[in-house]
Amino acid sequence: MPWPSTTLTGRTIALLVAPYGVEQVELTSPWQAVAESGGTPRLLSTAAGRVQAVRHRALGDTFAVDALVAEADPADYDALVLPGGVANPDRLRLDRAAVAFVHGCCASGRPVAAICHAPWTLIEADAVRGRTLTSWPSLRTDLVNAGAHWVDEEVHVCHDGPGVLVTSRKPGDLPVFNDALVTEFAHATAKRYPT
């Protein structure tokens, strides 16, 4: 269902995932939310071809990669979504180009949304220090040790920093996560690109 009070028309939103291990619903649900609000979602990864999603521990579908993150410029995107899954962010945080892209998006003030285990990549990109966010509960210590303030909420929107940061804990939080990311992305990009 479209988000009538917000629009991402004319905005290009990057969704960054590793070649294997993204939690499928945490990719497809935000993708659909962006598309239904008028935005253009683009799938970035560390390898060309297709990425293999998972449905918890079972294999899910595969999805075509639109661009390599090593060749991507944060300036070409209006916002960034980091889907979760345990293996996905664990692989991304070991990839220099992925970490550099995330750091570039965060440092430039672009809005970023991350769900479940995705904040691991934010930690590696040094993008959580002084920020308040939520995540899958097992990341709490990692986030606190990286200088973040962790909260246990369905969705948390943090405006303390160079850009808005939207975070959620798990797939069950996707309805409020999607609503918050579309609203915050629309508001943040409207400030950068006033009509």
pLDDT in tens, 27-73: 999 999 999 999 999 999 999 999 999 998 899 999 999 999 999 99
- Average pLDDT of the chain is 94
| Per-residue confidence (pLDDT) for residue 5, from 0 to 100 | 54
Q: Which single residue is written with the structure tokens 């071809």? A: 49
Q: Which single residue is written with the structure tokens 């345990």? A: 86
Coil, strand or helix at 68: strand
Which of the four pLDDT bands, split at 50, 70 and 90, describes residue 2? Answer: very low
What are the angstrom distances between the C-alpha of 44 and each of 8, 49, 87? 19, 10, 16
Q: pTM (2 decimals)?
A: 0.94
Instruction: Say if residue 194's pLDDT is above 50.
Output: no
Distance CA 57, CA 39 (A): 30
Instruction: Say if residue 195's pLDDT is above 50.
Output: no
Q: What are phi and psi of 130, to 5 degrees?
A: 80, 5
Distance CA 181, CA 18 (A): 21
Tokens linked to 107: 């440092």
SS3 helix, strand, coil % of the chain, rounded to 5? 40, 25, 35
**What is 12-189's CATH topology?**
Rossmann fold (3.40.50)
**120 close to 93: Cβ distance less than 8 angstroms:** yes
Average the pLDDT over 166-176 and give the result: 98
Active site residues: 116-117
Distance CA 90, CA 95 (A): 9
